[in-house]
Amino acid sequence: QLIADALVEGRPPEVTDRLDDASWRRVMRVNLDGTFHVLRAAVRVMRPAGAGAIVVIGSSSAFDTPVGYPHYSASKAGVHALSQAVAKEVIASGIRVNVVAPGPTETGMAARTPAALRSGFADPRVRPYATPGEIADIALFLASDAAANLVGAVLLANGGRFTA
């Protein structure tokens, strides 16, 4: 709400100096620590089998860092780096790790985004918010044999908002 209020009032958001340790750690625990735990569990199952494909959900926010979300952007950049490091390690065991990095997507979290922020994401030159199904299609592709040559890739799925 701090960010939305600042946009409505025409002033820059002031987030970093107000961001408490608990909020920082919560985002890191959910996004980065959670990804580590899932990757580790998947590798433990797939390595003995000598094959597998893991698709991690990152975020375009790791590249196009939105103002007011330093903790989210940092956590997702960490997710990308973690996934790429694990991808290099486990490819020798026949396991592929790749990342889909969505931009704005119609999720429960997006539904709670204040209108002032949602309108900031609206851009007539690009596709609107992705649907969960569109992001799932990309994840399914990354998990499929059609993506057999993709290892450590981060696929931007942001509707043309930017390229990296």
Is 72 annotated in the active site? yes
Q: What pTM does this model have?
A: 0.86
What is the per-residue pLDDT for 21? 97
Determine which one of 72, 82, 135, 156 is catalytic. 72
Task: Give Cα separations from 58 to 100, 133, 143, 153 (angstroms).
Answer: 6, 16, 15, 11
What is the per-residue pLDDT for 159? 85
pLDDT tens-digit map of 122-148: 666 777 788 999 999 999 999 999 999
Contacts 24+ apart (CB under 8 A), 66-74: 67/3, 67/12, 67/13, 67/15, 68/2, 68/3, 68/6, 68/13, 68/15, 69/3, 69/15, 70/15, 70/16, 70/19, 71/19, 71/23, 71/24, 71/27, 71/28, 72/27, 72/31, 74/28
What is the per-residue pLDDT for 13? 75
Question: At residue 155, does pLDDT exceed 70?
Answer: yes
pLDDT tens-digit map of 3-56: 667 667 777 777 888 899 999 999 999 999 999 999 999 999 999 999 999 999
Question: At residue 119, does pLDDT exceed 70?
Answer: no
Give the CATH fold of the 2-157 domain: Rossmann fold (3.40.50)
pLDDT tens-digit map of 62-113: 998 877 889 999 999 999 999 999 999 999 999 999 999 998 887 777 666 6
